[in-house]
Structure 1
Amino acid sequence: MPKDLFLPHSKPDKFCEVCNTMSTDLYADVILPLPLGDQFTYRVPPEFQASIKVGIRVIVQFGARKFFSALVYRLHTNMPVGSFDIKDIDAVLDQEPIVTQAQLILWEWLVDYYCCTLGEVYKAALPSALKLESQTKISFNPHYDMPVDLSGEEEALLLMLQGHGQANIQDINRFIGKRSAFSTLKILLEKNAILVEEKVEENYRPKTAPFIFLHANVLTESAIAQTLESLKKARKQLTLFEFFLSETLYHAEPKASMEKKELLERSQSGEGILRALIDKNILRTEEIEIGRLDFSHDQEPVIFDLNEAQEVALEQIGQQLRGLKPVLLHGITSSGKTEIYIKLIEEQLAKGNQVLYLVPEIGLTTQLITRMKRAFGDRAGIYHSKFNDAERVEIWFNTLHDKEQSFQLVLGARSAVFLPFRKLGLIIVDEEHENSYKQFDPAPRYHARDVAVVLGQIHHAPVILGTATPSFESYFNAKTGKYALVELTERYKNISLPEMVIADVREATRRKQMKSLLTPELFEQINTALANDEQVILFQNRRGFAPYLQCATCGWIPKCRHCDVSLTYHKHRGAMICHYCGHTESLSGKCGECHSEEIRTRGFGTEKIEEELSLLFPEAKVARMDLDTTRAKKGYERLIYQFENKQIDILVGTQMVTKGLDFDNVSVVGILNADQLLNYPDFRSYERSFQLITQVSGRAGRKNKQGRVVVQTTQPKHPVLHEVVANNFTQLFNRQMAERKLFKYPPYFRLVKIVIKHKNQERLNLAASQLATLLRKNFGFNILGPEYPVISRIQNWFQKEIWVKLERDSKLGQSKKQIMGAVSQIKSMPNHGNLIIHADVDPM
């Protein structure tokens, strides 16, 4: 980092080393939200010199007509060398820095490690409302009530947006006749009067639930007495009304309302009885926001006593954290890791520190976050990409400023590592093995777990990585002393691990014992569970009805016209859909080659499983949890609610069913096609298979019941399956480490994947070959490729990959500079203008 990054901006005349003259000019190097390798220098006009600081946003013109909100990165008095005119900063947006020194240090590390630019990090790190640009789309917030104290310009702008629906900032500049409207837009953003770019408001709504209140006619003691008298001939209504009064107005801790679901369950009354009281204007119902994360109103925090194993683990973690070495908490499923986290969080909050709690996908960890909100209440905030701009900006400033109502605990997905923490005391990375922590596109292609470790070093905050199935990299770091290792080998309250059965699909098929897609073992277990009024979860990691269709006459398979992949058949939509670009074709019923009508489905997805189960178990309520069924508003929450309340008997799903779910009544879990996991062409396939099967198996057998897990496969003797059954992670780890060391794969070597794309296949082949030749000059036989990936064309872009293996003890920084130098050399060659090349460090 430059020593003068945080140069004090004193104002005496300074000697300009470049032009050897006395200079009073102040210059700012700024970061633009663009994938540019350098910062750009602007002159700070005299009127801004007293207020400008590193870390604040300024408005600058870039190019002929475009304006951006840039971030001040460095202040200095060195006049730039060159024949170009230096532009002035147009406006200063902030009074105080919105990006801290610690954040800029982290950004620089990201640039160096992940081969990206500061502009790309800036664009990824800040909420979109904090980085406006000329082409940013602005729309009127329909929930905003216009007050009378708006300025004429503000009111005119809002009326224009109401009439036009949406406009970019360039159009707004023309409308109000100003060079830049950023200052006005900033004020309207602060008032929550406008929405920015992604119309997230349409995809996010606060979660609500119906609550029951006394009607306005029944608010006095005399009115209540008259109502009780009038209900004497309607005994069931009277009983329900008396119960409601006992739980609200006449409770030891009186409250105004009661959730409808809780009222009906606890009073053992029916919907019709409640409806009668509402129709008589005795009670009324109102939808109340309970938060997207579904934690009940008026519910006291659940206090858990740690068992002996948890107490030992907590003590060991405390000892290790004092040395600021990251701790890997390896605890089997249901071992009670969350209870340990809560104790550690309580310690930090009592000291006035902040805690960052990372989860892989915040939308799929509803139950976990509910527990955290119950435990820590308003001190816990959620940072979620699906929240609207105003909410994300609010959390940003809430985290930055030390105010009474500021969040101390922030729960978030991977982007939460970019928040401006002021006093970070602890970082928890839950389910650290999850691929969701890796950002794939666009840059920076970072891994939030690894960024969290560096963030902890910057803030001198301890880091805990928790999981039941560690990533091999993290476990290797623990075994070699880079991380500390704490293990939990007992389930909480001595709950038994599920009984696991490997079911041979090939043998069952040969004996003609298959029940549609189910082996006899799984069919019998589902029958038993349903007979005992228990629930079942079935896992298949492919959505849709069938992975592809095929002509039985000539073998033709319909493919996407934009991607090199077959179309997936979705029966409920009557269409074939590409899962890579979204291209959709209607089902004609005829072969595209020979026009035969003998079209067959091949394979099975969650949609087909749902249909088959409804035929096999007609009395059971079957539901499906995948991207198709959870895409709608509240789709995921609705399924969770229905399953929790036993309105669903069998839940079929993709990886969604493996994450963050804890249901007391689930006794059977079925994995319908383990081969699909084991045979994926990737050096991590065995590691991921073990993780996924173990995680989904952990959904079975909570509380006082031992669960049963049936794994269907055509490879019943596969060593990974037997290691899962024996819960022998160490054996799998040791076996795979020997292979990876032999073939130079992580964690013994680091990988950099270089992806080359072009719409012309011949030009792609030429560029990829030229790049591989350049790289081999520096890395020799540690270059793999260029080769086409499994999907060689996506959205009409052909692509190839080159993999570079780097020794762990090599000079990584120098190696990456050599890689990016070769990339720059290729891109500068003639006829490579439309070539796209990016590097992915530590690819997943």
Structure 2
Amino acid sequence: MKFFVDVILPLPIPGVFTYSLDEADSNNIQVGCRVIVPFGKKKYYTAIVFSIHHVMPQEYEVKPVFTILDKYPILLPSQLQFWEWISDYYISALGDVFKAALPSGLKLESETMVELNMDYIGSPDLSEKELRVLHLLSDDPIQCITKIAKDSGIDNILPIANSLLERGAILLREELKEQYRPRMESRIRFTKEYNHPDKVENLFELLSNAPKQLDIVIKYVELSSLLNQKEIKEVSKHRLLEGARASSSSLNGLIQKGILEEYDIEIGRLRVENIQEQDLHPLDKSQQKAYQEIEEVFDTKQVCLLYGVTSSGKTEIYIHFIEEYLNSGKQILYLLPEIALTTQITERLKRVFGDKLGIYHSKFSDAERVEIWRKQLSSNPYQIILGVRSSIFLPFQNLGLVIVDEEHETTYKQQDPAPRYHARDAVIVLAHMCGAKVLLGTATPSIESWYNAQYGKFGLVELKERYKDIQLPEVIPIDIQELKRKKRMSGQFSPPLLAMMREALDKNEQIILFQNRRGFAPVVECKTCGWVPKCTNCDVSLTYHKKLNQLTCHYCGYTYQLPDVCPACEAKDLTHRGFGTEKVEDEIKLIFPNISVGRMDLDTTRTKTRYEKIISDFQEGRTKILIGTQMVSKGLDFDHVSVVGILNADTMLNYPDFRAYERAYQLMAQVSGRAGRKNKRGRVILQTRSMDHPIILQVINNRYEDMVQNQLEERQVFHYPPYYRLIYVYLKHRDEKKLDFMARTMASQLRTVFGSRVLGPDKPPVGRIQTFYIKKIVLKIERDVSTQQTKKALLNIKERMLADKRFKSLIVYYDVDPM
């Protein structure tokens, strides 16, 4: 009987693709395994087996599976089900989900060029075919894979290439790359002839005239515990040479004499730390009450929203729930909105749960992420995963609890590329599939979550007291419009803010300054003619970065050297308008020259070690003033911060988006919450030109529920979430005039189906990015309208548009539940 497999390819193409399978291979393959398949004329890709069946497609000729990569599935059935849901709900191809979910190291894409890795040392257990390939490459280090297959006489070359890739012997250029290579370590041991304590004394005599070699043998005996009759330990080559203070040539001499032999062993990249585990801290009265209320909610509902003010001890409640679910044999996923937060919480969780905790985020190398993925499929997985958005795709064999900390954060939403999923919403569906509970925690709930809790979809538990009854910070508004008019501002700092900073520094306390814009100045302008440098690829002005002395586009990365004179009029009168975190840092260093200052934004946290050092320096008191963007607002816990300065609240209020007021409140409330968390009441200086703005007054008085009520009333009138679903339709093209016509055509087709629910097309705030012009169409869909019918209609319209030859180069995509 003929066997066929449907596979998911890592391509933005709808559906699955069918390939034939030899009967001999049908017993060696399962759903969720990786296979290599041909696609197109000369391309090969790693694909995931979606189903196995006996039905031959009639529409096209079926190609055979090239090779099978896995003995066991790398995807669990629940993961494939989850992939299908994400693809369906967010209107994206399964291939897009595949690319987002799987670490790059598990994807082998084919092209044709093979390169010999000159750093490869060699391995004694290479097969005859592998040696044949390496011999061919030794004559010509870069060759076409089809030529190697022809010259070597090996028909199925890709499995051999895959094996050599894993050993690190070859590199495959362009698309054919096995990104993941196991970390190998060279080990040393006695050959069979000498691997016994009785033989060692003979060696001492034999090597009496070779003192360096004798030192190596003595050190090996010591490190391996051979003479102690214990289990013989493996000895690394590096440790042996370092311990014996010997050279590689002396070791090679022993290998040539047949006394020692060298071999490679795979070692993990995942750090195993010996941390003394601590007992859980007892919950205080209010925390214990909240804990019990959450348990009661979980008796009847799957999702509970924990609305707790900043510094109320939500994390301690999470830890107690983790302990409870661990004791029942369940796995826990703990989601955070930012990688920067993992540093503090990792230390806290490690002290309680030790090596049961695994970390997963994009600052880890791809090889590390592959190893975590494989560990989660093993018989000894991490019981707790602490991660960011992408960790929802990891394999969970027995998921029992999901914690979404700071659930309101917009960083849970994936923007580009597809699938444009929201991790909070998606993980609620994943938990439902796995029979797990979800705990959402925040001091400023998203309006959607608050609405769901008020109307009974989620449970709601409130925690309104700070830990140890410390008062919420005092928020002091400062009218900078009036101060600037009277010329009393020192750069970006009002006199009250500077006075409180000096007072805090005198008491050896710490300060956080918040400015939600990075760089030195958002705009450089010629005072004479008004020239402003703009990005050549995007419709935005370039941001000046003083440290690099260059202008940078924060959308595409384009850089432009700051000119000495205006290119338009040759005047030398170039000035900076606005300010970012870099400029704040410069000014603070001038005002407080002897105080250590740190800056935390995207420019200073490019690597895992950089953000860890910034947080560590501030936490340990080595840095006294921390300047940052919204990164500093997200759940960081510092003991000695007594003053927080919000330098310009107005930039958050004036963004053209229906969520602007909600986000402004959340940001200001969250960053205010960093003040006075442990020892005493903190103070927040809120600088603004809009003293009477309702959001400013609500932040000052901590009136979250008033803010929500006002926003809900507006959104109901104007048909916004949570009363309506939003879907944005984005169209992109390099020709602006053609795009206008295409967008009007698509909007017309959408109106024939959706009528007045369609708004636009309009130009978004940034109308061109990376040389593509952009148009946006908005759909507002009632909650009771069938989502399946809506998405089916949208896919049909997109298909018709792209089938029109006039629209061949048009890019169209949907953003469901945009942020």
Q: Please show how residues 613-692 of structure 1 align to structure 2 within 5 Å.
A: 613-631=588-606, 634-692=609-667
- Tell me which residue corresponds to 2:46: 69
Indicate how the Cα distance of structure 1 residues 774 and 164 shifts in structure 2: closer, same or farther if over 3 A, else same: farther
TM-score relative to the length of structure 2: 0.84
- Tell me which residue corresponds to 2:323: 346
- Tell me which residue corresponds to 1:584: 559
Contact 1:365 1:659 in 2 (8 A): no
Opposite residue 57 of structure 1, the aligned amino acid is R
Q: What is the CA-CA distance between 1:746 and the residue it aligns to?
A: 0.5
Is 1:315 aligned to residue 289 of structure 2?
no
**Aligned to 1:81, which of 40, 44, 58?**
58
Q: What is the CA-CA distance between 1:480 and the residue it aligns to?
A: 0.8
CA displacement 1:2-56 (0-9 Å, x = unmatched)? xxxxxxxxxxxxxxxxxxxxxx212111111111112111111121122222221
Indicate how the Cα distance of structure 1 residues 427 and 155 shifts in structure 2: closer, same or farther if over 3 A, else same: farther
Opposite residue 108 of structure 1, the aligned amino acid is E
Indicate how the Cα distance of structure 1 residues 303 and 545 shifts in structure 2: closer, same or farther if over 3 A, else same: same
**Aligned to 1:710, which of 660, 685, 691?**
685
Is 1:124 aligned to residue 95 of structure 2?
no
- Tell me which residue corresponds to 1:149: 125
**Aligned to 1:113, which of 89, 114, 123?**
89
The answer to which of 609-618 and 832-841 deviates more is: 609-618
Counterpart Cα distance in 2 of 1:752 and 1:496: 42
**Aligned to 1:803, which of 770, 778, 782?**
778
Counterpart Cα distance in 1 of 2:132 and 2:670: 55
Q: What is the CA-CA distance between 1:96 and the residue it aligns to?
A: 2.0
The answer to which of 668-677 and 815-824 deviates more is: 815-824
Opposite residue 519 of structure 1, the aligned amino acid is S
Is 1:552 aligned to residue 527 of structure 2?
yes
Q: What is the CA-CA distance between 1:711 and the residue it aligns to?
A: 0.8
Counterpart Cα distance in 2 of 1:145 and 1:727: 64
CA displacement 1:127-185 (0-9 Å, x = unmatched)? 11222111499999999864422335556778999999999988986896655544345
Contact 2:727 2:780 in 1 (8 A): yes
Counterpart Cα distance in 1 of 2:117 and 2:493: 51
CA displacement 1:684-737 (0-9 Å, x = unmatched)? 011111111111111111211211111111001111111112211111000100
- Tell me which residue corresponds to 2:73: 97
Opposite residue 744 of structure 2, the aligned amino acid is S
Question: 1:652 aligns to what SS in structure 2?
Answer: strand
Counterpart Cα distance in 2 of 1:810 and 1:138: 53
Q: Please show how residues 234-253 of structure 1 align to structure 2 within 5 Å.
A: none
Question: 2:478 aligns to what SS in structure 1?
Answer: strand
Question: 2:547 aligns to what SS in structure 1?
Answer: helix
TM-score relative to the length of structure 1: 0.82
Q: What is the CA-CA distance between 1:771 and the residue it aligns to?
A: 0.3
Counterpart Cα distance in 2 of 1:791 and 1:779: 26
- Tell me which residue corresponds to 2:393: 418
CA displacement 1:538-559 (0-9 Å, x = unmatched)? 0111111110111111111111
- Tell me which residue corresponds to 2:549: 574
Indicate how the Cα distance of structure 1 residues 142 and 547 shifts in structure 2: closer, same or farther if over 3 A, else same: farther
Question: 1:342 aligns to what SS in structure 2?
Answer: helix
Indicate how the Cα distance of structure 1 residues 137 and 356 shifts in structure 2: closer, same or farther if over 3 A, else same: farther
Counterpart Cα distance in 1 of 2:448 and 2:743: 30
Q: Please show how residues 19-34 of structure 1 align to structure 2 within 5 Å.
A: 24-34=1-11
Indicate how the Cα distance of structure 1 residues 575 and 829 shifts in structure 2: closer, same or farther if over 3 A, else same: same
Opposite residue 529 of structure 2, the aligned amino acid is C
Indicate how the Cα distance of structure 1 residues 820 and 561 shifts in structure 2: closer, same or farther if over 3 A, else same: same
Opposite residue 70 of structure 2, the aligned amino acid is D
- Tell me which residue corresponds to 2:250: none
- Tell me which residue corresponds to 2:224: none
Opposite residue 288 of structure 2, the aligned amino acid is E
Q: Please show how residues 223-302 of structure 1 align to structure 2 within 5 Å.
A: 298-301=275-278
Indicate how the Cα distance of structure 1 residues 489 and 174 shifts in structure 2: closer, same or farther if over 3 A, else same: farther
Contact 1:133 1:169 in 2 (8 A): no
Q: What is the CA-CA distance between 1:297 and the residue it aligns to?
A: 5.9
Q: What is the CA-CA distance between 1:487 and the residue it aligns to?
A: 1.0
- Tell me which residue corresponds to 2:714: 739
- Tell me which residue corresponds to 2:581: 606
Counterpart Cα distance in 1 of 2:117 and 2:678: 46
- Tell me which residue corresponds to 1:49: 26
**Aligned to 2:35, which of 58, 83, 87?**
58
Q: What is the CA-CA distance between 1:187 and the residue it aligns to?
A: 4.0
- Tell me which residue corresponds to 1:249: none
Opposite residue 621 of structure 1, the aligned amino acid is S
Counterpart Cα distance in 2 of 1:355 and 1:458: 15
Contact 1:537 1:666 in 2 (8 A): yes
Question: 2:566 aligns to what SS in structure 1?
Answer: coil
- Tell me which residue corresponds to 1:535: 510
Indicate how the Cα distance of structure 1 residues 720 and 178 shifts in structure 2: closer, same or farther if over 3 A, else same: farther
Indicate how the Cα distance of structure 1 residues 419 and 160 shifts in structure 2: closer, same or farther if over 3 A, else same: farther
Contact 2:269 2:368 in 1 (8 A): no
Counterpart Cα distance in 1 of 2:593 and 2:285: 46
Question: 1:365 aligns to what SS in structure 2?
Answer: helix
Indicate how the Cα distance of structure 1 residues 179 and 372 shifts in structure 2: closer, same or farther if over 3 A, else same: farther
Indicate how the Cα distance of structure 1 residues 72 and 737 shifts in structure 2: closer, same or farther if over 3 A, else same: same
Contact 2:129 2:154 in 1 (8 A): no
Opposite residue 304 of structure 2, the aligned amino acid is V
Contact 1:383 1:413 in 2 (8 A): yes
Indicate how the Cα distance of structure 1 residues 185 and 655 shifts in structure 2: closer, same or farther if over 3 A, else same: farther
Counterpart Cα distance in 2 of 1:165 and 1:348: 54
Counterpart Cα distance in 2 of 1:821 and 1:132: 32
- Tell me which residue corresponds to 2:350: 373
Counterpart Cα distance in 1 of 2:113 and 2:683: 52
**Aligned to 2:335, which of 358, 362, 365?**
358
- Tell me which residue corresponds to 1:225: none
Counterpart Cα distance in 2 of 1:409 and 1:481: 29
Indicate how the Cα distance of structure 1 residues 632 and 28 shifts in structure 2: closer, same or farther if over 3 A, else same: closer
Root-mean-square deviation over aligned CA pairs: 2.9
- Tell me which residue corresponds to 1:701: 676
**Aligned to 2:469, which of 479, 489, 494?**
494
- Tell me which residue corresponds to 1:517: 492
Contact 2:537 2:768 in 1 (8 A): yes
Q: What is the CA-CA distance between 1:449 and the residue it aligns to?
A: 0.5
Indicate how the Cα distance of structure 1 residues 631 and 97 shifts in structure 2: closer, same or farther if over 3 A, else same: closer
The answer to which of 168-177 and 90-99 deviates more is: 168-177
- Tell me which residue corresponds to 1:329: 306
Unaligned runs of at least 5 residues, structure 1: 1-23, 205-288
Counterpart Cα distance in 1 of 2:412 and 2:641: 28
Question: 2:396 aligns to what SS in structure 1?
Answer: coil
Contact 1:368 1:660 in 2 (8 A): no
Question: 1:627 aligns to what SS in structure 2?
Answer: coil
Question: 1:317 aligns to what SS in structure 2?
Answer: helix
Question: 1:71 aligns to what SS in structure 2?
Answer: strand
**Aligned to 1:476, which of 451, 456, 479?**
451
Counterpart Cα distance in 2 of 1:550 and 1:38: 51
Question: 1:643 aligns to what SS in structure 2?
Answer: helix
- Tell me which residue corresponds to 2:220: none
Counterpart Cα distance in 2 of 1:175 and 1:660: 60
Counterpart Cα distance in 1 of 2:168 and 2:366: 9
Counterpart Cα distance in 2 of 1:163 and 1:610: 57
Contact 2:302 2:432 in 1 (8 A): no
Aligned length: 732
Indicate how the Cα distance of structure 1 residues 795 and 348 shifts in structure 2: closer, same or farther if over 3 A, else same: same
Q: What is the CA-CA distance between 1:831 and the residue it aligns to?
A: 2.1
Unaligned runs of at least 5 residues, structure 2: 184-266
Counterpart Cα distance in 2 of 1:636 and 1:175: 51
Q: What is the CA-CA distance between 1:387 and the residue it aligns to?
A: 2.2
